[in-house]
Amino acid sequence: MLSLRERAILFLKGMSMGAADVVPGVSGGTIAFISGIYEELLGSIKSIGPDTLKALRKDGLKAAWKQINGDFLVTLVAGIGTSIALLVRPITWALKTHPVLIWGFFFGLIATSVWLCGKLVKRWGVGPIIGMLMGAGVALWIGLAEPGTASDSLAFYFMAGAIAICAMILPGISGSFILLLLGAYLPVMTAIKEFDITMIAVFGAGCLFGLTAFSRLLNWMFSRQHDLTVSTLTGFLLGSLYIVWPWKQVISTRIVHPGKADEHLEPFITRSIWPGDYATVSDIDLTLGIAAKDPHILGAVVLALVGASLLLMLERFAPPRA
């Protein structure tokens, strides 16, 4: 049983994960990893399966609840859900109105997490270094990739759900960003808004499959190749710094809510640029109604330091690691 203090801390970590999941390009798995609950989360997810039903039939609800680490999962999910419900509107508003400042905060948080996660590698050698470089390369490739075109096949959305949920529990990679690259983001969001039961069910089944299968793989990797796994995940975080770089130039736009009263253009593909180039106004910026932009260098640096400081404080509450 968790104590009241442990529940409160875990709930706050869940809220932090929820806040990260709201932001495209940031993964809740990052927060779980840097706050010291990642391996326990994977183990808890892995424990849900046929053995749970056996424990329920043989020993009752209390034994099954303990077997899946129910107190941990419920408290964490409650924090995630509360955060999403409370923060989705202000965070999305802030991303539209003050993007540089918000991305600056997350850049500082993730940059600090690279150092903190690197410390978890017990012995650096050729293997962990190669793993870190490969992880960084994959994350960077994802950040540079251009969105694709979705298929009409339900099998495609099943696989999209499985892949996106895997990305969501990987530190440094956003599930929504993966959906965008696959070309499935808009169709899935439309299905949710229009309550397309078939699409939602197929996509949800894919998410469930990916979550259970991938959590088992990661849990196995942690137990067999801990340093290689941690160094690779550290590389994911390192490579994701490109994705959360505060200063971006809009390359192309997309129409949101076509044919409706609130139809408008929004940025679709962006690329990272230097702060000094951020004030340059392009034709696309003018189309979006954007005048010369203030790079807000001081504000971004201050918020990056705030993000780093909060992470260091969060690290103090992390449970002891073996």
pLDDT per residue, tens digit, the chain (322 aa), is: 678 888 888 898 888 888 777 665 566 777 787 777 887 888 888 887 777 888 878 888 888 888 888 899 999 989 988 887 787 678 767 777 788 888 888 888 788 878 877 887 888 999 999 999 998 998 888 777 666 555 678 888 898 888 888 766 776 566 766 776 676 766 776 777 677 889 889 988 998 888 888 878 887 887 888 899 889 888 888 888 887 888 887 776 666 666 666 666 666 667 788 887 777 755 455 555 555 567 888 999 999 999 888 777 766 655 555 4
103 found inside a domain: yes
- Alpha-carbon dihedral sign for residues 265, 184, 141, 37: positive
305 found inside a domain: yes
Are residues 197 and 278 both part of a single domain? no
- DSSP summary character for residue 280: P
Domain assignment of residue 306, given as a range: 4-245+299-316
Measured from the Cβ of residue 221, the count of other Cβ atoms closer than 10 Å reads 16
- What's the pLDDT score for residue 172? 59
Are residues 258 and 276 both part of a single domain? yes
- What's the pLDDT score for residue 301? 93
Are residues 217 and 75 both part of a single domain? yes
CA gap 72, 6 in Å, rounded: 9
Measured from the Cβ of residue 147, the count of other Cβ atoms closer than 10 Å reads 18
321 found inside a domain: no
172 conformational bin, left if phi > 0, alpha if psi -120 to 50, beta if neither: left
| Geometric angle at alpha carbon 120, from 115 and 121, rounded to 5° | 100
- What's the pLDDT score for residue 131? 92
Are residues 108 and 196 both part of a single domain? yes
- What's the pLDDT score for residue 322? 46
Are residues 280 and 175 both part of a single domain? no
Residue matched to tokens 């529990």: 169
Are residues 230 and 253 both part of a single domain? no
322 found inside a domain: no
For 296, the 3-state DSSP assignment is coil
Are residues 221 and 256 both part of a single domain? no
Are residues 179 and 231 both part of a single domain? yes
Are residues 197 and 97 both part of a single domain? yes
Contact between 65 and 264 (Cβ < 8 Å) = no
Contact between 252 and 268 (Cβ < 8 Å) = yes
H or E stretch at 254: strand 248-256
- Alpha-carbon dihedral sign for residues 37, 213, 141, 181: negative
Are residues 283 and 232 both part of a single domain? no
210 found inside a domain: yes
- What's the pLDDT score for residue 134? 93
Are residues 153 and 214 both part of a single domain? yes
Are residues 280 and 162 both part of a single domain? no
260 found inside a domain: yes
Contact between 1 and 71 (Cβ < 8 Å) = yes
Domain count, the chain: 2
Answer whether 0.85 is exceeded by the pTM. Answer: no
Question: Side chain identity at 134, as an amino acid letter?
Answer: M
